[in-house]
Amino acid sequence: MDLLVVGGGGREHAVIKALRKNPEVKTIYCLPGNAGIAQDATCVPIGAKDLRRIADFAVEKKVDFAVVTPDDPLVLGAVDLLEKAGIPCFGPRRNAAIIEGSKVFSKHLMQTYGIPTASFETFDSREKAYAYVASCPLPCVIKADGLALGKGVLIARTREEARDAVRTIMENRKFGDSGKRVVIEEFLEGPEVSVLSFTDGTTVVPMVSSMDHKRALDGDQGLNTGGMGTIAPNPYYTPEIADECMRTIFLPTIRAMKKEGREFRGCLYFGLMLTAEGPRVIEYNCRFGDPEAQVVLPLLESDLLTILQACRDGTLADTEVRFSSRSACCVILASRGYPASYEKGFPIQIDSSLSASVLYAGVASGADGSLVTNGGRVLGVVETADTLPEAIRKAYSQAEKIHFSNAYCRKDIGARALKALQK
């Protein structure tokens, strides 16, 4: 079989490595991929948002199955276009990807179907948003409606910060048209859990839980990033909480989408906060998380391709989805300065004794064909082990075998999870 994967980061590299385990898989094309992914797939320089060319390429190469993982192409309708061209495809159609593409949509969905989430108001006029933040409870959370690279969420502790946030999003349009509308919601507290799930629109199978580390600096300080590292499973997510989430969140969401005529097939990501009053949905994503996929997929024991096909074909209930009981840790090596400004183009050296899996994100080919840094998040180092402390220790000791100028990583990936384990 020949496959096509759309995207070019660490998440796509993790998906490709998992797909490679199936002996039937011959060629995997990755559009656009990157110079590191090229070790495991045939990368072709077609952008992930260039839908027309992606579909033409898939048809020309007669690929047997396509996997679309980034938010932009999904929200733009890549799956609709590929399926129309006769290419079976994993991922939600455009009318279902809106669950991530519009926070106004997803908040109203949760409200209508009684799915627990932070209380909220939505605004499409900035005058009304300014008037609301003049007297709403604080802290409050101001979110741009549309996609914003995970950065369109601002937490305001004072009236002034709340006004600034409305100005930034709605008036200065820092996140472009995503800021035409905003959601302003109640500030919640508690440990966060990411639960990715496979779904065929009727059956939903949660994957092993994980924990992202979104802030740039140790101790959850600094700016929000795309994610500086992950661990799985997440020790805060007990079997009791998992049961409650299935009953109050996962199944109700899948049923709600179907009832709305927006059946969701693909990976539905539940960003949860475990509050004192119970689990609440912080956000939905219409895809695998990045860097959650980097720790979740290495723990999958069943065949990924079979599962992705079952999600598309509506046969997930009859398909084995088994995860190992081991633990995983991913430490992201970034360019110092990320997510603000940083330098790139530095050669990457890897000691020959490295044994961890390396998943490439912001890398390019240097003049001599070797890898050089080419982005904020450069790569992820992934290790698995019988226990979480061991997986974390191994990931950090392997990360020391990778060298480039201005390399930066958080030193405390998994530290909060370890504290939970000691309780």
Footprint of ligand GLY on this chain (CB under 6 A)? 150, 212, 227, 285, 289-290, 292
Q: Is 87 in the site for ligand AMP (CB under 6 A)?
A: no
185 binds, among ligand AMP, ligand GLY, none (CB under 5 to 8 A by kind): ligand AMP
292 binds, among ligand GLY, ligand AMP, none (CB under 5 to 8 A by kind): ligand GLY
For ligand GLY, the closer CB: 34 or 194? 194
| Beta carbon of residue 193, minimum distance to ligand AMP (angstroms, whole number) | 10
Q: Is 115 in the site for ligand AMP (CB under 6 A)?
A: no
Residues 6+ apart with CB under 8 A from 404: 333, 346, 347, 348, 349, 372, 373, 378
Q: Is 182 in the site for ligand AMP (CB under 6 A)?
A: no
Residues 6+ apart with CB under 8 A from 415: none
145 binds, among ligand AMP, ligand GLY, none (CB under 5 to 8 A by kind): none
Helix axes 94-101, 103-113, angle to 10 degrees: 90
For ligand AMP, the closer CB: 263 or 283? 283
The size of the chain, in residues, is 423
Taking the C-alpha atoms of residue 8 and residue 149, their distance in angstroms, rounded to an integer, is 15
| Beta carbon of residue 103, minimum distance to ligand AMP (angstroms, whole number) | 7
Among 163, 167, 174, 214, binds ligand AMP (CB under 6 A): 214
SS3 content of the chain, % helix, strand, coil (to 5): 35, 30, 40
Residue 305 is inside which H or E element, if any?
A: helix 304-313
| Beta carbon of residue 224, minimum distance to ligand AMP (angstroms, whole number) | 6
Taking the C-alpha atoms of residue 342 and residue 406, their distance in angstroms, rounded to an integer, is 9
Is the omega angle on the peptide bond into residue 32 within 30 degrees of 0, that is, cis?
yes
Among 141, 232, 331, 399, binds ligand AMP (CB under 6 A): 141
For ligand AMP, the closer CB: 155 or 251? 155
| Phi, psi for residue 192 in degrees, rounded to 5 | -100, 145
Q: Is 224 within 8 Å of 215 (Cβ atoms)?
A: yes
Helices (H) and strands (E) in the chain, counts: 14, 25
Q: Is 97 within 8 Å of 74 (Cβ atoms)?
A: yes
72 binds, among ligand AMP, ligand GLY, none (CB under 5 to 8 A by kind): none
Taking the C-alpha atoms of residue 77 and residue 86, their distance in angstroms, rounded to an integer, is 15
Taking the C-alpha atoms of residue 151 and residue 20, their distance in angstroms, rounded to an integer, is 32
List the Cα angle 226/38/22 in 5-degree steps: 95
Q: Is 187 in the site for ligand AMP (CB under 6 A)?
A: yes
Q: Is 256 within 8 Å of 109 (Cβ atoms)?
A: yes
Q: Is 185 in the site for ligand AMP (CB under 6 A)?
A: yes
Q: Is 146 in the site for ligand AMP (CB under 6 A)?
A: no
Q: Is 192 in the site for ligand AMP (CB under 6 A)?
A: yes
Q: Is 12 in the site for ligand AMP (CB under 6 A)?
A: no
| Beta carbon of residue 215, minimum distance to ligand AMP (angstroms, whole number) | 9
Q: Is 271 in the site for ligand AMP (CB under 6 A)?
A: yes
For ligand AMP, the closer CB: 118 or 165? 118
Choices 35-43, 183-191, 289-297, 357-365 (CB under 6 A): range interacting with ligand AMP: 183-191
Among 150, 226, 227, 233, binds ligand AMP (CB under 6 A): 150
Taking the C-alpha atoms of residue 12 and residue 37, their distance in angstroms, rounded to an integer, is 8
Shortest-Cβ-distance residue relative to ligand GLY: 289
| Beta carbon of residue 212, minimum distance to ligand AMP (angstroms, whole number) | 7
DSSP structural state of residue 210: B
161 binds, among ligand GLY, ligand AMP, none (CB under 5 to 8 A by kind): none
Residues touching ligand AMP: how many (CB under 6 A)?
13
For ligand AMP, the closer CB: 185 or 383? 185
Q: Is 153 in the site for ligand AMP (CB under 6 A)?
A: yes
Q: Is 94 within 8 Å of 76 (Cβ atoms)?
A: yes
Where would I find the beta strands (DSSP E) of 208-285? 211-212, 215-217, 221-224, 229-232, 266-275, 278-285
Q: Is 66 in the site for ligand AMP (CB under 6 A)?
A: no
For ligand AMP, the closer CB: 271 or 314? 271
Which residues of this chain interact with ligand AMP, rule CB under 6 A?
Answer: 118, 141, 150, 153, 185-188, 192, 214, 271, 282-283
